[in-house]
Chain A
Amino acid sequence: MAEQPITKNLKWSYMDHWSMRSPKGWVAAQVGPAYADRFFKQVAAVGFEGVDPFEFRLNGLMQIFGSAKKAEQFAQDRGIERFVNMFVCFYDDRTHLREVHDGIVGAFEAKIRMYQDIQLDNFIVMPAARYCQAEPITDEKIKNMAECWNRVGKLIKKHGIKLTCHHEFYCGLHHREEIDKFYAWTDPEYVYFFLDTAQHLIAGIDPTDLYVKYHDRVSGFHFKDTHHIDLRGDYRTPPDPERCASTTYRWFWEMGTPEGLVDFPRFMKALREFQYKGWVSVEHDKADVGGGNYAESTCRAKWYIDNVLSKIYA
């Protein structure tokens, strides 16, 4: 199934955190072809056209099917157009330290070779180590981070892939001032911004304001919601603020819940104002915490897209 030219402004992709029940308990789609079959069919059924895998999940599919291209073909046979973005996981994330930069660049050189048989628009990275591992966040450290990603971005852009930065609320680039400095010190030609609506709101930053400021740097989105803002400094607490923070065990929610704090209609109006064209990704991160399930969250989110957001901009 060849990629169709974009005849509408937005296409929706699905960030794969999927888990599903099996006779052996909860499993990911990568546990075998029968499970991958169910996963791709389910996201295609509700109208997602792309899938964004994590690096380790794409690697799992590659082992099952033989190559990234064959894994993608498996998805295409079930109605998915292609893999769009990959969330990169394996590199030394201590980018505030100059001495690890050569190793990081080498890691990305290897990734280019590994995934060269498919088209990926973005390599998504968390641009800094966890806040607690990198603090205090000084200008010198932010400049080091910027220097690192400038090098990686320049490298991978030669191969048609954008380096784009996704700021988890617990990452070293957390506050608005840190984010502003980072994008001021990175090269717009090589370093892009992957804006996650929930992560920034948890950090107390309005995602629409961020998009308005950085719309010309944005190369993608994670649309997800939250019911909580971090008022306790959870972002600084080890070991894992996304999974075991004091505020909540479940930070992330699908769009359309009554308690949701992200103003998605306002965000969509901003996309319309700046005429964003391209892929938008939906992410359900840990939707299964507390008894939820990915299938229901995904249906609810796509329903919200079709019935609310698409009426604003599509």
Chain B
Amino acid sequence: MANIQWGYAVNQWRNMEVDFVRKDQMESAFKVISVCGFNAIEITDTALGGHMIPDYFGTAHAFMEFLHGCGVERVCSLNTGIDFGVSPTNPADHDRMVAGASRSAQFIAELGATRLVVRPMPPYWREAPITDEKIKAAAECWNRVGEATRAAGVVTTMHVDFLCGVRNPEALEKLLALTSPETVGLTLDTAELTIAGIDPVGFYKKHHARVNHLHFKDAVTTDTLDEYKDPNAEIDYWPNNLILAGAKRHVERWYYEMGTPGGLVDFPALAEAMLEHNYEGWVVVESDQSPFTEESVMLNGWYKRFVLSKVLTGNAHAAVR
């Protein structure tokens, strides 16, 4: 337990244009996160990333004072697309992506962050077919990005989601084999892997040495119709891309709070595996797509406090449920 720190992703507060654009909205979000037992936040390009902190607060120091005043210790990570309209499968984009990642790393290091969370490949439906050549190009990109961010003390970590080009076990294994364990890690997102049909516990046990960041959220269904392949399964949008996959079955919401009845992720088993492999680092809880922002943080806070913390301290029998 002593090696694990808990953060919360602020992406759920940034759904529409009017969300998370005033300091009082940020203050409320940070205080909710703090009182529910999370020490840090993960920001995104459109939720405190890019120009937002300089524009709203002037300096990183001023923002950190604001954050501390709300009871949150630091920013732990930036979940980034690095730049708009680029792809790691296109070698011509690599210089631009490396430069962008380097700038981002330098900036978030001032906020206390240690992880740059990147998407290893754009949506599957745009990139398919996923050839060895594309995987190799992406690996080369992330190896260069990893080197660049390391210079700022920030580790690059690839976040696989169920809609991205690298979301099948075979492709994922190839990408991991071609990226440097020294500079490129893996963010394990429990819900994304589950929806993609991959057991996150088994995956963690196999790849624990590469996992250097975790996203905890639950799912109640998987992509049984392979909707990730469909045109427009995900479309570019602002402030966030929109997921259209699931429409065939009227899946309105893919992601749920930990502890949701019917949830498919076995979090206690994953926590025990993390304990066994002595995981050190951040666990970021996410509740993107939540229609009940504060309720989701509270429910996740409850599950962390009354279930997972007891497992992670080796006191599983004391977990409430």
Stretch from A148-156, A236-244, A296-304 at the B interface: A296-304
Main secondary structure of the interface of B (DSSP, over half): helix
Residue of A nearest to B297 (CB): A299
Say which residue of A21, A299, A303, A307 sits within 8 Å of B298 (CB atoms).
A299
Task: Count B interface residues, CB 8 Å.
Answer: 25
**Contact, CB under 8 Å: A41 / B31:** no
**Contact, CB under 8 Å: A295 / B292:** yes
**Contact, CB under 8 Å: B302 / A296:** no
Smallest CB separation, B306 vs chain A (Å): 5
Knowing A41-B302, A303-B34, the reply to whether A34 touches B295 (Cβ < 8 A) is no
Main secondary structure of the interface of A (DSSP, over half): helix
A45 within 8 Å of B by Cβ?
A: yes
A17 within 8 Å of B by Cβ?
A: no
Knowing A45-B305, A78-B306, A299-B294, the reply to whether A38 touches B299 (Cβ < 8 A) is yes
A103-140 interface bits toward B, Cβ cutoff 8 Å, 1 = contact, 0 = none: 00000000000000000000000000000000000000
* A78, A302, A303 — most chain B CB neighbours (10 Å): A303
**Contact, CB under 8 Å: B306 / A299:** no
**Contact, CB under 8 Å: B295 / A38:** yes
Smallest CB separation, B30 vs chain A (Å): 9
Say which residue of B261, B292, B299, B321 sits within 8 Å of A45 (CB atoms).
B299
Q: CA of A303 to CA of B306 in the docked complex: distance in angstroms? A: 19
B176 within 8 Å of A by Cβ?
A: no
Q: CA of A78 to CA of B321 in the docked complex: distance in angstroms? A: 8
Residues of A within 8 A of B306 (CB): 41, 44-45, 78-79
A263 within 8 Å of B by Cβ?
A: no
A20 within 8 Å of B by Cβ?
A: yes
A40-51 interface bits toward B, Cβ cutoff 8 Å, 1 = contact, 0 = none: 011011110000
Residues of B within 8 A of A45 (CB): 36-37, 298-299, 301-302, 305-306
**Contact, CB under 8 Å: B31 / A21:** no
Smallest CB separation, A174 vs chain B (Å): 34
Q: CA of A46 to CA of B291 in the docked complex: distance in angstroms? A: 20
**Contact, CB under 8 Å: A21 / B292:** yes
**Contact, CB under 8 Å: B302 / A42:** yes
Query: Which B residues between 281 and 301 are near A, CB-CB below 8 angstroms?
Result: 291-295, 297-299, 301
**Contact, CB under 8 Å: A300 / B299:** no
A180 within 8 Å of B by Cβ?
A: no
**Contact, CB under 8 Å: A295 / B295:** yes
Residues of B within 8 A of A298 (CB): 298
B235 within 8 Å of A by Cβ?
A: no
Residue of B nearest to A258 (CB): B24
Residues of A within 8 A of B302 (CB): 41-42, 44-45, 78-79
Q: CA of A298 to CA of B301 in the docked complex: distance in angstroms? A: 14
* B31, B261, B297, B321 — most chain A CB neighbours (10 Å): B31
B47-84 interface bits toward A, Cβ cutoff 8 Å, 1 = contact, 0 = none: 00000000000000000000000010000000000000
**Contact, CB under 8 Å: A41 / B298:** yes
Smallest CB separation, A210 vs chain B (Å): 29
Residue of A nearest to B291 (CB): A21
Smallest CB separation, B310 vs chain A (Å): 11
**Contact, CB under 8 Å: B320 / A34:** no
Task: Identify 23 residue pairs between A and B in the complex whose beta-carbon atoms are under 8 Å apart, listed by A's number.
Answer: A20-B292, A21-B292, A38-B295, A41-B303, A42-B298, A45-B299, A46-B301, A77-B321, A78-B306, A78-B320, A78-B321, A293-B295, A295-B293, A295-B298, A298-B298, A299-B31, A299-B35, A299-B36, A300-B35, A303-B32, A306-B35, A306-B71, A307-B71
> Given known contacts A20-B292, A41-B302, A46-B36, what 9 new A-B pairs fall within 8 Å (CB)?
A41-B299, A41-B303, A44-B302, A295-B292, A298-B298, A300-B35, A303-B31, A307-B34, A307-B71
Residues of B within 8 A of A (CB): 28, 31-32, 34-37, 71, 259, 261, 291-295, 297-299, 301-303, 305-306, 320-321
CB-based closest 4 A-B pairs: A45-B302, A295-B294, A42-B298, A45-B301
